[in-house]
Amino acid sequence: MTATPYNRHMQRVLAWLGEQGVRPSDLRATYESLPLSPGVPNLLKFLSKHRRLFELILISDANVFGVEAKLRAMGARSLFRKVFSNPAGVDGRGFLTLGPFHSHRCPRCPANMCKGKILREYLEQRAGEDVEFQRVFYVGDGANDFCPAEGLRPGDVAFPRKGYPMHRLILQEPPGTFQATVVPWESALEVERSLQELVQGK
């Protein structure tokens, strides 16, 4: 039996929730109350304090409705120059609907989103605007975070959540093939400490 892709599964879930009388306002309240991973509030405070040093984007295979709701509830939306997530909207029935982010040819990623393509295109766009980054830091945990991390260069840093799919896939790579420095984390406080060391070294 083939598993239903996550994006398509969530389309069905949202339609079912709408049929049960769950409104977009109910879903917004749920998204706003979702707990963050350990250490993330501290990491966001650190990044806010040093926002002139980092340009932040967020790439999520969730949906723009939920991601934006959570960021705004935390007062953190302004930290991110760009949010990339699956489009969501309210249809004529008042149901929250979900679509794919884009199409791509990456065999590693789900059909609705290739985070590696998103990151590459963003970096290319910024280079075309004469913005050059000294290095890229990529924080993630899912299997779909491996693709963009795999494209990082020497000098860049991948922060995989310890024991999660992104970390396991990195560990499966033959020695010497993964170019970026790898810093696994259990709490985002470990990410903050790594970035703090960089800031203090400036």
What pLDDT, in 10s, does the model give residues 68-120? 999 999 999 999 999 999 999 999 999 999 999 999 999 999 999 999 999 99
Which ranges of 2-140 would DSSP assign to H, the alpha helix?
Answer: 6-19, 24-33, 40-49, 64-74, 115-128
The band of 202, judged by pLDDT with boundaries at 50, 70 and 90, is: low
pLDDT at 176: 86
The band of 201, judged by pLDDT with boundaries at 50, 70 and 90, is: confident
Neighbours of 66 (CB within 10 A): 22
Residue 2 has pLDDT above 70, yes or no: no
pLDDT at 198: 85
Parallel, antiparallel or unpaired: strands 181-182 and 157-160: parallel
pLDDT at 124: 97
Residue 1 has pLDDT above 60, yes or no: no
SS3 102: coil
Give per-residue pLDDT as tens, 11-65. Answer: 999 999 999 999 999 999 999 999 999 999 999 999 999 999 999 999 999 999 9
CATH topology of domain 6-201: Rossmann fold (3.40.50)
Give per-residue pLDDT as tens, 176-198. Answer: 899 999 999 999 999 999 999 98
Is 141 assigned to a binding site?
yes
Q: Where exactly are the structural domains of the chain?
A: 6-201
Check residues 201 and 45 and name the one with the higher pLDDT: 45
Q: What's phi and psi for 68, nearest 5 deg? A: -65, -40
- Residue 187, CB-side half-sphere exposure with 13 Å CA sphere: 7
- Percent of the chain scored above 90 by pLDDT? 94
pTM of the model: 0.93
Q: Quote the CA–CA distance of 55 and 47 in Å, as a whole number.
A: 9
